[in-house]
Amino acid sequence: MKQKDNKTEEAILQVARKAFIQKGLTGARMQDIADGAGINKALVHYYFESKEKLFALIFQQEFRKFFSNLAAVLSADICLFDKIQEIVALDIERISQFPDMPLFVLNEISRNPTMMVKQFKQLQAKNVLAGFQQQIDAEVKKGIIRKISAQQLLINIQSLSIFPFVAKPMIRKVMQMTEKQYQEMIQARKKEVAQFIINAIKA
């Protein structure tokens, strides 16, 4: 048989990813994806059956990026302040590589919350969160930090890390930033955000 070169399949995925992220499920066009990949539209269906299937695949991939390594760091056996620094650095660096991923994922989850269900079974977030809360409580007891719930702290960390990417066009316009200035602002956050959070909770 003919060698199954992933080249075509890979090209489709690459173009489709860009299309779906930029225009959403309904906005993206199968014809454009085919054209972008330099192939026939029927070939897209040959490889991925339907628009929904192709979309689901890409969503799955992006979704995994969203949580990659987060659980590991949260469960790591390091002190709270280091943990915060780790999470922030991980988040910002990861998202810097896929700047459009968060808005895409959040948007599609909001449109269709059930899509997430399958992806999420393995993540058993409940234990991770409970462990994180334990660590926080211990630090509170030692008088090192103020009282705070693991939920709120985690939301704060993720908000400060992720939101600047989600709101990039808004921020650039409101603050009249060039692309370069925006990138510098993000770089600065890599250092500042963790310290901001630590200051906020330090007793």
Partner DNA sequence: ATCCAGTTTAACCAAATGGTTAAATTCCTG
Partner DNA sequence: CAGGAATTTAACCATTTGGTTAAACTGGAT
Q: Which long-range contacts (CB under 8 A, 24 or more apart) does 149-158 make?
A: 153/197, 153/201, 154/74, 154/129, 156/197, 156/200, 157/84, 157/87, 157/88, 157/91, 157/197, 158/91
41 binds DNA (CB under 7 A): yes
If binding is defined by CB under 7 A, does position 31 make contact with DNA?
A: yes
Give the residue among 128, 129, 153 at the shortest CA–CA distance from 140. Answer: 153
Query: What letter does residue 202 receive in the DSSP assignment?
Result: B
The answer to the question of residue 112 lying near DNA (CB under 7 A) is: no
Instruction: Determine if 94 is a binding residue for DNA (CB under 7 A).
Output: no
CB of 79 to DNA, least distance (A): 50
39 binds DNA (CB under 7 A): yes
Query: Which region among 41-49, 91-99, 129-137, 144-152 touches DNA (by CB under 7 A)?
Result: 41-49
Which of 75, 118, 163, 183 touches a second copy by CB under 8 A? 163
Which of 168-195 are b and which e, b meaning 16 or more Cβ less than 10 Å from the residue's Cβ? beebeeeeeeeeeebeeebeebbeebbe
CB of 44 to DNA, least distance (A): 8
**Residue 177 C-beta: closest distance to DNA, Å:** 33
Interface with DNA (CB under 7 A): 1-5, 8, 28-31, 39-43, 45-46, 49-52
